[in-house]
């Protein structure tokens, strides 16, 4: 059987299982296998899969699942292997916790006395869809979206922000921003 998944974080979880019978041959390996597609097996070679080996024999065991992606749904099953083959427990699913997006700010260009162009590149949505993106600016370092900002769509990737209405001869600071559910 497959245990309930617990201790779910952005990149890790705990699961396990219970081997109740050896099927007439000694259990040589037991653990869990996971994937982003349903009914994971040890032979799956997709990028978002993995497995653990948690000893041998019958009885309960606990597995640490690591190296997961934030905000992603995974399917997991316990397994036990003996000389006759591998059997799997029932499938369970869990979703890792999402995190804030990862992005960089594009250097200011096309600078005039009252405008400039900036933007950014969102390399990761953090496991949750980007609902807003743009640039924020101000006369103090590290401006935030509570001040002046552009709104330049949704989603990951590069975007351009046209900032206008600036005061001539004033130093401005610009940050790209991206918003997800976190």
Query: Cα–Cα distance between 95 and 104 in angstroms, integer?
Result: 27
Is residue 89 within 8 Å of residue 4, measured between CB atoms? no
Query: Cα–Cα distance between 10 and 157 in angstroms, integer?
Result: 22
pLDDT digits (tens, 9 = 90+) for 85-97: 999 999 999 999 9
pLDDT digits (tens, 9 = 90+) for 132-156: 999 999 999 999 999 999 999 999 9
Region 2-28: mean pLDDT is: 97
How high does pLDDT run on average in the chain? 95
Indicate the SS3 state at residue 173. strand
Q: To the nearest 10°, the Cα dihedral for 37, 40, 43, 47?
A: 40
pTM: 0.76
Structure tokens at 151: 């709104």
């Amino acid at each position: 059987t497959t245990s309930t998944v617990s201790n779910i974080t952005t990149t890790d979880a705990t699961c396990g299982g219970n081997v109740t019978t050896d099927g007439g041959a000694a259990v040589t390996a037991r653990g869990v296998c996971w994937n982003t597609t349903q009914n994971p097996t040890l032979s799956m070679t997709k990028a978002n899969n993995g497995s653990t080996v948690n000893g041998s024999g019958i009885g309960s065991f606990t597995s640490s699942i690591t190296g997961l992606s934030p905000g992603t749904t995974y399917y997991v099953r316990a397994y036990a292997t003996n000389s006759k083959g591998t059997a799997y427990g029932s499938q369970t699913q869990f979703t890792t916790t999402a995190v804030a997006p990862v992005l960089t700010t594009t250097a200011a260009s096309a600078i005039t006395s009252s405008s400039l162009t900036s933007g950014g590149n969102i390399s990761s949505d953090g496991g949750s869809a980007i609902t807003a993106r743009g640039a924020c600016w101000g006369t103090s370092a590290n401006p935030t979206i509570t001040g002046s900002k552009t709104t330049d769509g949704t989603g990951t990737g590069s975007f351009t922000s046209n900032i206008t209405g600036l005061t001539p001869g004033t130093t401005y600071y610009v940050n790209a921003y991206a918003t997800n559910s976190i």
